[in-house]
Amino acid sequence: MTTIRSAEVLVSSPSRNFVTLRITSEDGVVGLGDATLNGRELAVASYLRDHVTPLLIGLDAHRIEDTWQFLYRSAYWRRGPVTMSAIAAVDMALWDIKARRAGMPLYQLLGGASRAGVLVYAHASGGDLAQLGDSVRARLAEGYKAVRLQVAVPGMGSVYGVGATVAGRYAYEPAKRAGLTVEEGWDSARYLRHLPGVFEWARAEFGPDPMLLHDAHHRLTPIQAARLGRDLEPYDLFWLEDCTPAENQEALRLVRQHTVTPLAIGEVMNSIHDFRTLIQEQLIDYVRASVTHTGGITGLRRIFDFAALHQVKSGSHGPTDISPVGMAAALHLDLAIHNFGIQEYMAHDALAAEVFRTSYTYADGMMHPGNAPGLGVDYDDEAASRFPYEAAYLPAARLVDGTVHDW
């Protein structure tokens, strides 16, 4: 038995906010976990600091499954993004400690590598096709084999997911800091008319080889999603993501009846129960969940193993609001599981790299978690002290008549 000596909640903001849990065992081995919930960061920090860390002191750091079940079941209040992000951070930190003590990279404890590297997709976006073209060319020149395309819709203002510059990064990355929610407009009819032509253009411009993805960001009704999936079929998408809000999992039956465009769903979900119908009825092709919001490596592996029974693959969420600790955890899992599909990758900026020292690598469209013991991430307290928390909100969307809409 190796007891937990301390558990500290670290909040820093090197260009965007991150919540990190650091657990130290009695013999001084340190493990890190990511608890970042974009736009609601302090809720998880408080949940951890005020309700979870006092329970951890003195527990056996090696009992990962038992600790997961204890935090999940004994809180009585199950599931939800705040609880599951907090459990995720504890889970990652304990896996990190176990692997560091074993002197192995974490993926070895998860069964070893099932592949040479992890296929990742990058982001490209633009205010028009010329900008989008530049953005896609830049990603392809960096070696990416898979690229997500987002583009402004003529007649609509700024849209989340479309970068302000040809660099192809989100306009809200970093999220709008020190300000309240920014509202954007949304018009599904214009979007549905515009998007198929964008992918027709992309295939004409870049040929059949690049894997192309698109994120509809929960904005369509099921029948609209069905139409979009059908209209995109000639352009052979790798996936269409979050085509409709999926709290109502049965809604995907309708989408599935009309299109064979592969579907990916799950970045706002946090429990295996959120995926039950989607997976059992094979209504999706990729689980889009993040290790940071689904109870960590233990929680997400359970979902992926369930998905494997139904030939559904992984597609882990990996935007920059997943910290480098969460990204590392995802990469270890990606390398180890059999039903890996693809991993999202938005490189963190240089400020984040001052706080989080990582051992994962990127080359030729693939990533590898590295072979440092544990997750392979170290946290620099001195650097973090230079980047205090700054409130930042995600945007909101309204339809033309002012009705609040999904963004």
Residue positions annotated with a catalytic role: 160, 217
Q: Is 261 in the site for ligand KDG (CB under 6 A)?
A: no
215 counts as binding Mg ion under rule CB under 5 A: yes
Determine which residue in the list 15, 17, 20, 38 makes contact with ligand KDG, applying CB under 6 A.
38
Residue found by looking up tokens 């490209």 in the block: 124
Pick one of ligand KDG, Mg ion, none as the site partner of residue 321 (Cβ within 5 to 8 A by kind).
Answer: ligand KDG
Which of ligand KDG, Mg ion, none is residue 38 near (CB under 5 to 8 Å by kind)? ligand KDG
Strand duo 366-368 + 361-363: pairing: antiparallel
CB 287 to Mg ion: min, Å = 13
Instruction: For strands 118-126 and 343-344, give the pairing.
Output: parallel
- Candidates 80, 185, 196, 319; binder of ligand KDG (CB under 6 A) is 319
HSE-up of 236 (CA within 13 Å, CB side)? 10
Dist. CA 386–CA 92, nearest whole Å: 25
* Residue 248: other Cβ atoms inside 10 A: 10
Judged by beta carbon, residue 215 or residue 321, the one nearer Mg ion is: 215
Kindly state whether residue 41 participates in binding ligand KDG, applying the rule CB under 6 A: no
Residue whose beta carbon is closest to ligand KDG: 38
Query: Residue 358 binds which entry of Mg ion, ligand KDG, none, with Cβ cut-offs from 5 to 8 Å by kind?
Result: none
- Shortest distance (Å) from residue 123 CB to ligand KDG: 8
d(CA 347, CA 350): 9
- Should residue 321 be labelled a site residue for ligand KDG when binding is judged by CB under 6 A? yes
Contact between 344 and ligand KDG (CB under 6 A)?
yes
Count the site residues for ligand KDG by CB under 6 A. 8
Q: Annotate 118-185 with DSSP letters as a single string.
A: EEEEEEEEESSHHHHHHHHHHHHHTT-SEEEEEE--TTS---TTS-SSTT---TTSS-EETS-PPEEE
What does the block give as tokens for 110? 């998860």
* Burial class of residue 5, CB neighbours in 10 A (0-12, 13-18, 19+): middle
Q: Name which of 100 and 288 has its Cβ closer to Mg ion.
A: 288
Contact between 354 and 366 under an 8 Å Cβ cutoff? The reply is no
CB of 30 to ligand KDG, least distance (A): 27
Q: Which is nearer to ligand KDG, 98 or 217 (CB)?
A: 217
How near is the Cβ of 344 to ligand KDG at its closest, in Å?
6
Binding segment toward Mg ion, per CB under 5 A, in 140-148, 207-215, 231-239, 276-284: 207-215
Q: Rounded CA gap, 59 and 21, in Å?
A: 16
Give me the residue label for tokens 């007891």. Answer: 3
Q: Which is nearer to ligand KDG, 134 or 406 (CB)?
A: 406
Contacting positions for ligand KDG (CB under 6 A): 38, 215, 217, 267, 317, 319, 321, 344
Contacting positions for Mg ion (CB under 5 A): 215, 267
